[in-house]
Amino acid sequence: MLKDKIAVIGLGYVGIPLAVEFGKKFETIGYDINHQRIDELKNYHDRTLEISSLELKSSKNLKYTINPNDLKSCNIFIITVPTPINNKNLPDLKPLKQSSKVVGKLLKKDDIVIYESTVYPGVTEDECVPILEKQSGLVFNKDFYCGYSPERINPGDKERTLTKILKITSGSNKKTAKKVDDLYKSIIKAGTHLASSIKVAEAAKVIENTQRDVNIALVNELALIFDTMGISSQDVLQAAGTKWNFLNFKPGLVGGHCIGVDPYYLTYKAEKMGYKPNLILSSRAINNRMSSYIAKKTIKLLINSDKKIKNTNILILGLTFKENCPDIRNTKVIDIIDDLLDFKCKVDLYDPWIDKEEVQTIYKNYNIINNPFKSTKKYSAIIVAVAHKQFVKLKQKDYENISQDDPILIDIKGIVNNPTWRL
């Protein structure tokens, strides 16, 4: 076992895979404020489904706690808390600042604090370091040091797991940068990239998802244009994709904690510096409108089929922000539901991946049901919103069996063979 003692602050989608890997080689303590989360992990259960019970058991040097005082003996603190946005699409740094306060009270001379949370350039040194100094009474880059190594976790992806994704690293001086880089090299099989500064590493992370957001916005807008023309966007993209350098992006909902959030961190900082990031903001606006477009398209198809709108039964398949994972953070499916409810439709929601009881406490007004394909209830329209493996297997007959008259099938993910309409 290696000599450093590591504390991982925050045990969500990012923190738990990291804690498990470090716990195989270092004495590691995973800290979280959620009592239930800690209890479940102690019993080798990860509700995010990112880490199996076997993997949790394999991390022999990993312990869990809800008591920050248990971290006092650690010399490396890795902060992996969420960095969400508020209802005005502005960065919410409260979880990051609160965790910095917790760590600051524990800091000793020569300790290192590494941040993994996605932020705009400057947050680590301009926002977090002053908190660490104030709480500890220590001087940055003299008594303690910082690093930044942005997370690249892809929820639900069992192929590109933590150790198989190249890791960006950085440090507040050359010695610390080397230390941080060596630390991650010890667990990341894919290797590391040592950035020239913390700000460069922060910027690199925030533009990764911004780039994806802009590209998806383009194909979303193209899909809307082609829909007005009566042309299949899928057919168009398939044809265009025959060129070797055509970028393979598909239209769809853009949610989750990364792509739908990270661009706002960059635009916030850009506007603070006096620059208006028009392309990025326009892309965000396009992607945010897609849910409303899909809901209104559904209503239009119902009207064209001479079906009533008020109290009509509509089934939505999938709630999570992506396929084959239980993650509902910033899912845009809820916007479709809310729009349909505004039209006074009766909406049933089915998702085999979610914790039904947990989700029901968050979305109290939603009718979350068990498998509709084992029920006799009929629907006027069915929206396939998420490409879960259970839905990919469905046949036309399955939809017909639960449809009232001819099925109105809305296919957002391109997995239905004969949809009424496809994005």
Catalytic residue positions, numbered? 258
Task: State how far the Cα of 72 lies from the Cα of 84, in Å rounded to an integer.
Answer: 28
Half-sphere exposure of residue 283, counting CA atoms within 13 Å on the CB side? 24
338 strand-pairing partners:
none
What secondary structure letter does DSSP report for 89? S
What secondary structure letter does DSSP report for 293? H
Tokens of 302: 């119902």
167 strand-pairing partners:
192
Residue 13 contacts residue 80 (beta carbons within 8 Å): no
Pairing of strands 76-79, 62-65: unpaired
The CA-to-CA distance between both ends of the chain, in Å, stands at 52
* Burial class for 57, CB neighbours closer than 10 Å (0-12, 13-18, 19+): exposed
Residue 182 contacts residue 149 (beta carbons within 8 Å): no
Tokens of 59: 């991390």
What letters, b where the CB count within 10 A reaches 16 and e where it falls short, cover 139-178? ebeeebbbbbbbbbbbbbeeeebbeebebbbbbbeeebbe
CB atoms within 10 A of CB 31: 26
All residues at 6 or more sequence positions from 154 whose CB lies less than 8 Å from its CB, including other chains: 160, 165
